[in-house]
Amino acid sequence: MAGILEGKNILVAGVTMDSSIGFATAKVAQEQGATVLISNFGRALGITRRIAKRLPTEPAVLELDVTDPEHLARLEGLVRAELGPDAGLDGVVHSIAYGNPETLLGGKFLEGPWEDVAQAVHVSAYSLKSLATACRPLMGSGGSIVGLTFDATVAWPAYDWMGVAKSALESCSRYLARDLGPHGIRCNLVSAGPLKTLAARAIPGFEELEAMWSERSPLGWDNTDQEPTAKAVCALLSDFFPATTGEVVHVDGGFHAMGA
């Protein structure tokens, strides 16, 4: 039986460790028939190239810093060099976020300096727009862009300025849905519960969030299992959500719907 991504080309931007949601998404996408490209940059690029070998099929690894205009400008050429001169992308995954844990997280909201806040918003939110516009020429008559958020409708312990950045990401996704919809491109986000990823470990006090989930999620929550989130991302990349855009899909065991 063919997978739901059979024949599709997918770029997963921001894969560092094999414990990441991006890595899990690349794995599920390959299992569902997609040709996958992954990306990273700087010192992390070497790690990405090593962990790429752990995927079912070793994907091409592109160097891409989504805050660098030169990297974004050359992305189309890099993708076509890997997939073929007439090939494009059917889906793009934005698995990218950063906030300085020493100044922006763990109860430092009132002290967070603007320079670090600006960097967090640029990397975590504005980059969704940057990546979408860089990939648009590769998406032909349509496709799907999926990003990752952590419910930004409320204030969380420890999350502080990353919560603000995720709020900007969620708003950015809605505006992209508006402006890219006429071109057949959908833009949605998946809001996952707390997972033991590299990014989570960098947040001082993140254990407080993890403890809440085990008590309040009606379906329960395994914070070491990235696959449910990856499956949701791949579903949104597929043709099974042709009329869904500007949405935030929760993969959190039902936590978001519980009042107490």
Q: pLDDT tens track of the chain, all 260 residues?
A: 789 999 999 999 999 999 999 999 999 999 999 999 999 999 999 999 999 999 999 999 999 999 999 999 999 999 999 999 999 999 999 999 999 999 999 999 999 999 999 999 999 999 999 999 999 999 998 999 999 999 999 999 889 999 999 999 999 999 999 999 999 999 999 999 999 876 666 677 677 777 788 889 999 999 999 999 999 999 999 999 999 999 999 999 999 999 87
User: Beta strands 35-40 and 9-13: pairing type?
Assistant: parallel
**Structural domain contains residue 184:** yes
Q: What is the pLDDT of residue 44?
A: 94
Confirm whether 178 is domain-assigned.
Answer: yes
Task: For the chain, report the end-to-end CA distance as a whole number of angstroms.
Answer: 42
Report if residue 259 sits inside a domain.
Answer: no
Q: How many structural domains are present in the chain?
A: 1
In a domain, 257, yes or no: no
Angle, helices 160-180 vs 114-121, to 10°: value is 40
In a domain, 183, yes or no: yes
| Residue 4 lies inside a defined structural domain of this protein | no
Amino acid (one-letter) located at 163: G
Which residue reads 């499956």 in tokens?
Answer: 231
Question: Tokens 């504005």 sit at which residue?
Answer: 126
Cβ neighbours for 216, distance < 8 A, ≥ 6 positions apart: 255, 258, 260
Q: What is the pLDDT of residue 39?
A: 98
Residues 6+ apart with CB under 8 A from 154: none
Closest CA to 249 of 125, 126, 149, 124: 149
Under a CB-based contact definition with an 8 Å cutoff, are residues 61 and 45 in contact? yes
Q: What does the CA dihedral 159, 165, 171, 177 come to, rounded to 10 degrees?
A: -110
Report the pLDDT value the prediction gives residue 260, as an integer from 0 to 100. 77
Structural domain including 179 reads: 9-252
CATH code where residue 121 lies = 3.40.50.720
What does the pLDDT read at residue 200? 66
Residue 198: predicted pLDDT = 67
CB 165 within 8 A of CB 121: yes
Q: CA 126 to CA 80: how far, in whole Å?
A: 25
In a domain, residue 187? The reply is yes
Residue 258 lies inside a defined structural domain of this protein: no
